[in-house]
Structure 1
Amino acid sequence: MAKENITIKDIAARAGVSTGTVDRVLHNRPNVSKAALEKVNKALEEMDYRPNMYASALAYNKEYTFYCVLPKHEQEAYWDEIEEGAMACTEFRRDFGSKLKFIYYERFNPPAFTKMVRELFTAKIDGVIIVPATLEQTARFTEKLIERNIPYVLLDSYMPDLKPLSFFGQDSFASGYFAAKMLMLIANKEKEIALMKQTRDGIVGSKQQANRETGFRHYMVDHFPKIKITEVDLPLDEDHKDYDGILEKFFSTHPHVHHCITFNSKAHIVGEFLQKSNRRNVQIMGYDMVAKNEECVRKGSISFLIAQHAYQQGYASVDALFNAIVMKRAVNPVNYMPIEILTKENVDFYRRTAI
């Protein structure tokens, strides 16, 4: 008999008990004698029974509320695809009563983050997806989740000391190292390259970006120690017209710089400037398949993009909570996304959605 076709009636016949007794054993309900329990368990073992977890979860008809905590962001940003993937998985699991709500926090604003956490804990929470703020802020948040026995998944930046249920994202150091290796395929004859950074008070937006830069610089020190890396700061929250002035000043005073890199999803800021200023001999390399970056790749002002599979990260993070909380299944603790490079020739074939 096929394992998936075994019914309660089959088990009851094998064990010599009623179907009601089998049902109570399978669902850990009381009022089962020791002798009956032993008979049913023996029958289950002999028949190699595997319960239909989906049917069991549906039968409980319970609702589950998950929260996704993200930084505030503009439209058409990397985080939009995280949201799209998370909502798609939630929709796929809708028959199980799972709901997903989004909460946004301001980067570089610890009091606002603390307030957000305080308000979150007034709601019913079954699981949380977190894009970390600083380690200190995030640790205080996750400590409260642990106290309340609420599972959580980390995205974007891996902080192993926080002991999340699971992590989805790239190996940031390896990603930066890889980015340097790819850039040097076309920039190995240069004497200077530019590193475009967006900071506030000298601090980049995430630990992930900092780790990418570390990996990038390690490769450069190991293989191209004589190439100068000049930093250009495009302060966060500046108007784009101010960026144009910063970039015009830099490229006018550094006419020998032909290659740039940035470790966030804003390569299009430089790419669009290069198109407007008609600087066809300069290119930038960046991250994330957002629409504006994609357009710059097609027009040639962005040479390479490294994809993070943001949609899949969002989808997989909800799926991990679902499997752990609803289905009571083990999930992989660390899930590194592939490091893929996109150019004008293959950008149209990039798969955003979950397979």
Structure 2
Amino acid sequence: MNRAPWQSPTIAKIAEISGVSSATVDRVLHNRGGVSQKKVLLVQRALAELQASQEKTQPVEEMLEFGLLIDSDASFTVALKDIIAESNDADPSVKIDVFSSLPIQFDPGAFSDKIIEWGEKYDGLIVSCREHPAIARAIETTVESGTGVVCVTTDQPHTRRLCYAGLDQVAAGSCAAHLIGRFARKTSGQVILLGSAAYRCQEQRGIGFRRVIRSKYPDLSIVEYFNQKDNSYTAYEYLTQYLKSSPPPIGIYNVAGGNAGITKALLDAGIKNDVLFVGHELTRVSSELLEEDGIDFILTHDISTELERAKVILRMQCEGKLEKQNFEPLLPVIKCKYNLD
């Protein structure tokens, strides 16, 4: 809620309170002289009383409270919570609370119930989760109740969310294909595409990846493994089983979490230096993997900008100023060990 503009007490009101004429008040306020000290004090006291009274009745700017609900692996969730803590400290006019669910524990019914519950509790919601009919219904219910919803990182395009404020995921997948196609040690062979669940962001990354591999690098074939649940243990098991029965791939593109498990599987198989590995999200874990050559490239994005975009849209919606808003998708950022912040 915005603070109402300040209005100085009128001369007539000061005259009424002080018991002197408007002309006398005008002379005192503009330091024209010719007024007794007694009347000057009466005017000054009346002015102080009116200003104090007006300050008490000024509406106080209310803090907006937004809820962020995320369904993601632990390392990305921790990174996001760190950024939100910094945002809350830097901007006292907005407070963001977080509810998180790990993919391996994900319950669509419980998560959708939480969306509806938080939609009634908060001024707006920021959502980052997989697509599911129950999730879509919960977003629709929240929007119908008057609470705005903005999607970050992964979209829910078949709902009435206010906008998607995140990354161009197709471009990210295209970048991964280019990196593997151009910089892998071999120009032919198999490339493994690893994913976890029905996240639109992962599907779009896969679209961009397949498009570039098939059009630009026809000597590469894609082997897809999905449902590794954004979990390092599951990713390790999938890749280890694959390597026992198949020749080593020339590259791996992981569109999900679990990067540490993939690195461990490659190290245990003794082929880490022969496989170009591209993953997603710059977190504490992935930064360490980059520094130690456990992963070659990380595709990341400006999460802070996504959150700021979401805050702007939700604030405008709360103030009744929102018109149709679509942001240009953010572009992916390629990180290696030599350009870490």
Category of TM-score, reference length = shorter chain: 0.7 to 0.9
1:287 corresponds to: 280
**How big is each residue's C-alpha offset from its partner over 1:95-125, in whole Å with a ceiling of 9 and x where there is no partner?**
x3x432222346553322333244335x532
Structure 2 counterpart of 1:295, one-letter code:
E
Which of 227, 243, 256 is residue 251 of structure 1 equivalent to?
243
1:70 corresponds to: 70
> Are residue 82 (structure 1) and residue 80 (structure 2) matched?
yes
**How big is each residue's C-alpha offset from its partner over 1:180-215, in whole Å with a ceiling of 9 and x where there is no partner?**
12221113843223324243xxxx251110111011
**How big is each residue's C-alpha offset from its partner over 1:222-252, in whole Å with a ceiling of 9 and x where there is no partner?**
1223321123457328772x65454334334
Task: State the Cα distance separating 1:276 from its structure 2 match.
Answer: 4.2
Give the distance between the partners of 1:105 and 1:254, measured in 2 at CA: 34
Contact 1:129 1:152 in 2 (8 A): yes
Taking only the aligned residue pairs, the percentage that are identical comes to 17
- After TM superposition, the score normalised by the length of structure 2 is 0.72
1:131 corresponds to: 128
Task: State the Cα distance separating 1:142 from its structure 2 match.
Answer: 2.2
Task: State the Cα distance separating 1:287 from its structure 2 match.
Answer: 0.8
Task: State the Cα distance separating 1:339 from its structure 2 match.
Answer: 1.0
> Are residue 159 (structure 1) and residue 156 (structure 2) matched?
yes
Structure 2 counterpart of 1:99, one-letter code:
K
Give the distance between the partners of 1:103 and 1:73, measured in 2 at CA: 13
Structure 1 counterpart of 2:87, one-letter code:
C
1:260 corresponds to: 252
Unaligned runs of 5+ in 1: 1-5, 20-57, 350-355
Structure 1's 196 and 234: CA in aligned 2 closer, same or farther, altered over 3 A? farther
1:343 corresponds to: 336
Structure 1's 235 and 306: CA in aligned 2 closer, same or farther, altered over 3 A? closer
Structure 1's 229 and 276: CA in aligned 2 closer, same or farther, altered over 3 A? same
Contact 1:324 1:331 in 2 (8 A): no
Which of 192, 199, 211 is residue 206 of structure 1 equivalent to?
199
Give the distance between the partners of 2:201 and 2:230, measured in 1 at CA: 19
Structure 1's 210 and 189: CA in aligned 2 closer, same or farther, altered over 3 A? same
1:50 corresponds to: none
2:54 corresponds to: none
> 5 Å matches for 1:218-257?
218-233=211-226, 235-236=228-229, 240=233, 243-257=235-249
Contact 1:296 1:302 in 2 (8 A): yes
Structure 1 counterpart of 2:333, one-letter code:
E
1:92 corresponds to: 90
Structure 1's 124 and 158: CA in aligned 2 closer, same or farther, altered over 3 A? closer
Which of 139, 144, 153 is residue 142 of structure 1 equivalent to?
139
Structure 1's 99 and 264: CA in aligned 2 closer, same or farther, altered over 3 A? same
Give the distance between the partners of 2:247 and 2:118, measured in 1 at CA: 51
1:60 corresponds to: 60
> Are residue 278 (structure 1) and residue 276 (structure 2) matched?
no
**How big is each residue's C-alpha offset from its partner over 1:30-77, in whole Å with a ceiling of 9 and x where there is no partner?**
xxxxxxxxxxxxxxxxxxxxxxxxxxxx94333432111111642xx2
Contact 2:232 2:257 in 1 (8 A): no
Contact 2:231 2:257 in 1 (8 A): no
> Are residue 185 (structure 1) and residue 182 (structure 2) matched?
yes
2:296 partner SS: strand
1:37 corresponds to: none
Unaligned runs of 5+ in 2: 15-57
Structure 1's 73 and 222: CA in aligned 2 closer, same or farther, altered over 3 A? closer
Structure 1 counterpart of 2:188, one-letter code:
K
Rg: which structure is higher? 2
Give the distance between the partners of 1:18 and 1:223, measured in 2 at CA: 79
Give the distance between the partners of 1:288 and 1:173, measured in 2 at CA: 15
Moved more, 231-240 or 212-221: 231-240
Structure 1 counterpart of 2:89, one-letter code:
E
Give the distance between the partners of 1:126 and 1:336, measured in 2 at CA: 25
Root-mean-square deviation (Å): 3.4
